[in-house]
Structure 1
Amino acid sequence: MARERFFLELAPPDEQLAGLPHVVIVGGGFAGLKAAHALSGRPVRVTLIDKRNFNLFQPLLYQVASGLVSEADVASPLRQMVGQAPNIQVLLGEVVDIDPAAREVVFNDRRLAFDHLILATGSGSTYFGHEEWREHAPPMKILEHADEVRRRLLTALEEAEQTPDRERRRHLQSVVVVGGGPSGCELAGSVNEMLRHAVARDFKQLDPDDCKVTLVDPGERLLRAMHPSLSDAAGRYLRSRGVELLLGGRVQAIASERVTLTAPGGERTLEAATICWTAGVRASHLGKLLAERSGCPLDRGGRVIVNPDFSIPDHPSIRVVGDLCAYSHTADGKPLPGMASPAVQMGGWVAADILAAQEGRSHAPFRWTDFGSMAVIGPLCAVADLRGLRVSGPIGWLLWGLAHLAFMPANENRLTLLTKWLWTIGTRQRASLLITGRPDQHMGVDVGLERLEAADPGVRAPGCSA
């Protein structure tokens, strides 16, 4: 006998699920996916809502941008990952309103009731009030952004191959990366290797020595969240590979193929065919919406300030996890960093806390286990700070690779990534140097209520009440 099907409240739910608490998870990233896994097969009904039908392993987006791996290697369909559990339903859509009093969310022009709500919509990019820079310097937050960066890089090389003017060729072989955090260092290092080896191997007219990658950061050192010794190691390696580091450089303007900044030596203009942005992070727009609806506080970055159990004041049924939350209930009082490891731990703990409350059990307070931080900066070279154990070079790369494979949620992706990494190490060839799409076609892709806010910041989303 075929099992019954259900869809929202439009038809009677499966008989076995009808009386169970309904947990709605918004966002299928690290935190949301972990919560769904933890609730799989448990006595709750789960609805996972995401505007994309896949989970994206965001830390490896730079490898898509630089042609190391393809989109499918860092993304996995949510329905295949958790949707086959009998108590989990995956729905495609964007939540545009939350009614805390009625315990409902609004998406796809319908209202969905919840007993527990887990918001895990992550973060996006910010240009610090200069959104006009976005079209000239793509960020690195979604697959479409990585595709656009790769398209711009490869298109510039193809144009350079047909350009008789050497100065123009040098310009087309130049890249500026803004932001010296882990994403910026990883992108700059990978793009530098791609340019130099692709040019030497695949292009007849181009000179690898004309390739130029400049990494800009306003701080005194790269990777400021890491120990200074690792920052120095990363800087030395990148410089040895030909990457120019412009520290203390504050961007003043970005135009087509041009970055104007102030540096210790005065104002300076950098010209490059490709400009990439990894400098600013902002919380999902859903945090602002939740604050309007519930009165919950936000920090300066737009993250929701949560209670020790990740709930918001006066609404214990609403939990906020991952990059969207500001959690400072730590031993040192410092907020948890926006990384995969804390997000996974948050999602798992909240799911366990919901189950414990349902069963009348007490649940130990949340305690974050800090596994450290790391960044890969070149072939077989990475820096890693593992709770005081600081390593760099090949050992750092090995630890980095093992950690990323461990956090990768899909076994198929683990296998394909390992295969492509080993292939690249052995051959110096990249598997995904494809030019796809039309120029700038992906730059207008929304990543969370952006279209509505851009149209009129004072206008509420459809279905919203003042």
Structure 2
Amino acid sequence: MARERFFLELDPPDSSLKILPHVVVVGGGFAGLKACHALIGKPVRVTLIDKRNFSLFQPLLYQVATGLVAEGDVASPLRQLVGQAPNVQVLLGEVEEIDTQAKQIVFNDRQLAYDHLILAAGSGSSYFGHDEWREAAPPMKILEHADEIRRRVLLALEEAEQTPDPARRAFLQSVVVVGGGPSGCELSGSLMELMTHALGRDFKQLDPGQCKVTLVDPGDRVLRAMDPSLSAAAGSYLQSAGVELLLGGRVQAIEAEKVVVNTSEGARTLEAATICWTAGVKASHLGQVLADASGCTVDRGGRVVVGPDFSIPDHPEIRVIGDLCSYSHTADGKPLAGMAGPAVQMGGWVAADIVAKIQGRAHKAFQFTDFGTMAVLGPLHAVADLRGLKVSGLPGWILWGLAHLMFMPANENRLTLLTKWLWAIATRQRASMLITGRPNQHLNVEVGLERPLANP
């Protein structure tokens, strides 16, 4: 028997909001949060729906994974960020269906009507058809992933401290990171820094010289999206810090504590107590839900192909932004990358475009401003390519820090991050070296509201 659904129409705090157009935003990441901020005080009623009650600053997850900062330093409650605005309501739940004809979404087994719908549900990790690898090699997309990586690394070191066998100790001090993009390079450098300095200071039986971090990537250089000179500088720094680069290596198999890599010299087996995955990205399943409901197109990565105004064919009231969209209306015809910069600009522009249409005004076309890319590799060392300005070392780190503090949505988090970064630089101590959680907590993470059991 089909489950009964109820129509959800919550009265806004101010009765005057009832007559305003209703904008529903799905997803409180960079894109969705920016859209909500831009709609505060505008002549619309906004409902923000997310399966979690906080906005996560994903670029700094590697710092949670390596104990540099705590979970609360990179996550901010949505109700504090935008929920206190008179015309914004925050609801916890996960969208399950979209009825494009009736202009309704279904979440928490209830229907909610919209006049304008902004989908900004983001992306997850892709194992390129090998989801069985997830248990052995956790990704790094949500807080549970970062916690799991930290838990595995620290537990391995604790076991190594009590292990008399030198070979076993060396194995427990080994980590393999798959993926040589910004996340993989940042995680590798931070793990090496964590292990070498934590071992030398906090562990009595371990030799920091036995620590080993191997970074695996199928390309001929790390950070392939950057200028080759910066890629070379990044690779040289990581190697000088002790990270082994296995370039041109394609992963063939992953199992518990073992990675099989195919190289030009044949298959190579890497054994490590901890394996991390940063190699693949796939769009939220909500893209396919929208495609099934509307007939719109999704690309191979599950991203929704959108028009110049981020709408889908025959549905100008539906916009798709952030990692969930494939936007190729650019000068070179290449889709915009799934990064914070494009997502923030998309969210702000779409919000302004919706308001302009409601008010009957023309709005300028979207034009992305590329401010560049950057990656931090170690204490006071980063590489940055800012619109042709190539910077590495300490100047790169300063620019990286300023950029990340600027994108951080909460002032409180900016202060705590800056304090902990400076403390770590001054003392080489990390603020969050706690072993918490349970084994494999990154698998099948349940978030949001529990679904009620279906009626028999």
Same fold (TM over 0.5): yes
Q: Which amino acid aligns with 1:162?
A: Q
Distance apart, 1:8 and its partner CA: 4.3
Contact 2:299–2:305 under 8 Å retained in 1: yes
Contact 2:14–2:86 under 8 Å retained in 1: no
Equivalent in the alignment of 2:90: 90
The question of 1:280 aligning with 2:280 is answered yes
Distance apart, 1:443 and its partner CA: 2.1
Unaligned runs of 5+ in 1: 1-6, 453-461
Equivalent in the alignment of 1:247: 247
Counting only pairs closer than 5 Å after superposition, residues 90-239 of structure 1 correspond to structure 2 as 90-239=90-239
Q: Which amino acid aligns with 2:69?
A: V
CA RMSD of aligned residues (A): 1.6
Q: Which amino acid aligns with 1:435?
A: I
The question of 1:313 aligning with 2:335 is answered no
Task: Calculate the TM-score normalised by the size of structure 1.
Answer: 0.94
| 1:18 counterpart SS class | helix
Q: Deviations over 1:163-208 (max 9, x none)?
A: 0001000000000000000000000000000000000000000000
Contact 1:284–1:448 under 8 Å retained in 2: no
Contact 1:120–1:321 under 8 Å retained in 2: yes
Contact 1:178–1:277 under 8 Å retained in 2: yes
Contact 1:382–1:394 under 8 Å retained in 2: yes
Q: Which amino acid aligns with 2:319?
A: R
How far apart, CA to CA, are the structure 1 residues paired with 2:283 and 2:399? 29
Counting only pairs closer than 5 Å after superposition, residues 8-47 of structure 1 correspond to structure 2 as 8-9=8-9, 14-47=14-47
Distance apart, 1:441 and its partner CA: 2.4
How far apart, CA to CA, are the structure 1 residues paired with 2:304 and 2:168? 48
How far apart, CA to CA, are the structure 2 residues paired with 1:13 and 1:188? 48
Distance apart, 1:442 and its partner CA: 3.1
Equivalent in the alignment of 2:432: 432
Distance apart, 1:264 and its partner CA: 1.5
| 1:441 counterpart SS class | coil
Equivalent in the alignment of 2:400: 400
Q: Which amino acid aligns with 1:226?
A: M
How far apart, CA to CA, are the structure 1 residues paired with 2:144 and 2:60? 13
Contact 1:423–1:429 under 8 Å retained in 2: yes
| 1:374 counterpart SS class | strand
Equivalent in the alignment of 1:4: none
| 2:91 counterpart SS class | strand
Number of matched pairs: 446
Q: Deviations over 1:396-429 (max 9, x none)?
A: 0000000000000100000000000000000000
Q: Deviations over 1:238-281 (max 9, x none)?
A: 00011000000100000000001101211000000000000000
Q: Which amino acid aligns with 1:319?
A: R
| 2:15 counterpart SS class | coil
Contact 1:319–1:350 under 8 Å retained in 2: yes
Distance apart, 1:307 and its partner CA: 0.4
| 1:82 counterpart SS class | helix
Counting only pairs closer than 5 Å after superposition, residues 47-86 of structure 1 correspond to structure 2 as 47-86=47-86
How far apart, CA to CA, are the structure 1 residues paired with 2:153 and 2:13? 50
Task: Calculate the TM-score normalised by the size of structure 2.
Answer: 0.96
Distance apart, 1:433 and its partner CA: 0.4
How far apart, CA to CA, are the structure 2 residues paired with 1:42 and 1:10? 19
Unaligned runs of 5+ in 2: 1-6
Q: Which amino acid aligns with 1:146?
A: A
How far apart, CA to CA, are the structure 2 residues paired with 1:13 and 1:102? 25
How far apart, CA to CA, are the structure 2 residues paired with 1:11 and 1:23? 15
Equivalent in the alignment of 2:290: 290
How far apart, CA to CA, are the structure 1 residues paired with 2:418 and 2:332? 37
